[in-house]
Amino acid sequence: MYDIIIIGAGPAGLTSAIFARRADKKVLVLEALTYGGQIINTPDIDNYPAAPHISGYDFATNLYNQALELGTEIKFEKVIDIEVTESIKKVITSENQYECHSIILATGADNRKLGIPMEDELLGKGISYCATCDGAFYKDKLVAVQGGGNVALEDAIYLSNLASKVYLIHRRNQFRADETLVKKVKSIGNITLVLDSNVIALNGNDYLEGIDVKDKDGNVTRIDVSALFVAIGRIPENQNFAKLVNLNEFGYVISDETCHTNIDGIFVAGDNRTKKLRQLVTATSDGAVAATEAIKYINNKK
């Protein structure tokens, strides 16, 4: 029987583990993929206090090692369900089930897909959700980015230094990104804006050979790009808990700065909860708060 089971070994989950272990709680972290979460592939983090220019891999590894050194148990199993009875909470993975007093949901978010044919088949063969991870494969090639927020514009700027030309395709005629990014994108010679438009088809069987783009008047244009970087947002990983905790219309667990959910003893931390800013600093902050609340809950119960 664990005191706290933390679902997700991203920045929020691992920070929760550090705080819970320092209070001497018996802690299990369950992670579906690998430790570190979304940040693991980012080459350079510039906005985390007191750690300038650290890579995502180093950041995640430091966090992981810190949690392990403090005695956190970490298992690589995907959580598929949670059952709550009056006294015990059961966390069910694809391989096992574990009992605990309290749970912290720290499952973060995943890439939002375009939802068009061949998107999955061409993943890694021209379709990418991470410009900083895959951009270097397309040096001196024609590439496209779909999206209109900060990530899409940052991707376009990053790719403009590698690719011969970048088409930035956005469904509206104005970007949602910060004004400084918009200005920068507009000032770069090899970025071409394709506004009021959406990618509607992917051409190629073994690898991406081009995309069909439809504008608001219904005109379809083929653009021969070697890669399409999809940057249209992220989906919170809360599907497995939807019948248990209250989610908002976008699928985020409804909570606030206390990290409580509607279920007693179940807390939420990081990008998968309702909040204004989804960044490392807020994810780790949530991790600390959720663990502190879980510790209080367990101590009161005992």
Q: Among all residues, which ones are annotated catalytic?
A: 130, 133-134
Under the binding rule (CB under 6 A), the answer on residue 261 touching ligand FAD is no
Which residues are registered as beta bridge partners of 100?
Answer: 2, 89
List helix spans (H) across the chain.
Answer: 11-22, 56-69, 131-134, 150-160, 179-187, 280-301
Measured from the CB atom, is 17 or 223 closer to ligand FAD?
17
Residue window 42-61: x/- pattern of binding to ligand FAD, with contact defined by CB under 6 A: x--x-xx-------------
Under the binding rule (CB under 6 A), the answer on residue 288 touching ligand FAD is no
Measured from the CB atom, is 108 or 147 closer to ligand FAD?
108
Query: Which of 4, 6, 7, 104 contacts ligand FAD by CB under 6 A?
Result: 7
Query: Which of 55, 62, 240, 274 contacts ligand FAD by CB under 6 A?
Result: 240
d(CA 233, CA 113): 8
Query: Which of 199, 280, 289, 295 contacts ligand FAD by CB under 6 A?
Result: 280
d(CA 272, CA 32): 15
Under the binding rule (CB under 6 A), the answer on residue 147 touching ligand FAD is no
CB 143 within 8 A of CB 156: no
Residue window 108-137: x/- pattern of binding to ligand FAD, with contact defined by CB under 6 A: xx--------------------x-x-----
Query: Which of 122, 145, 283, 289 contacts ligand FAD by CB under 6 A?
Result: 283
Query: Which of 5, 21, 37, 211 contacts ligand FAD by CB under 6 A?
Result: 37
> How is residue 27 written in tokens?
């802690």
d(CA 150, CA 152): 6
- Mapped onto helix, strand or coil, the DSSP state of residue 20 is helix
Packing angle, helices 11-22 and 56-69, rounded to 10 = 20
What CA–CA distances, in Å, run from 9 to 87, 105, 150? Answer: 26, 10, 25
The residues binding ligand FAD (CB under 6 A) are: 7-13, 30-33, 37-39, 42, 45, 47-48, 78-79, 106-109, 130, 132, 237, 240, 270-271, 278-281, 283
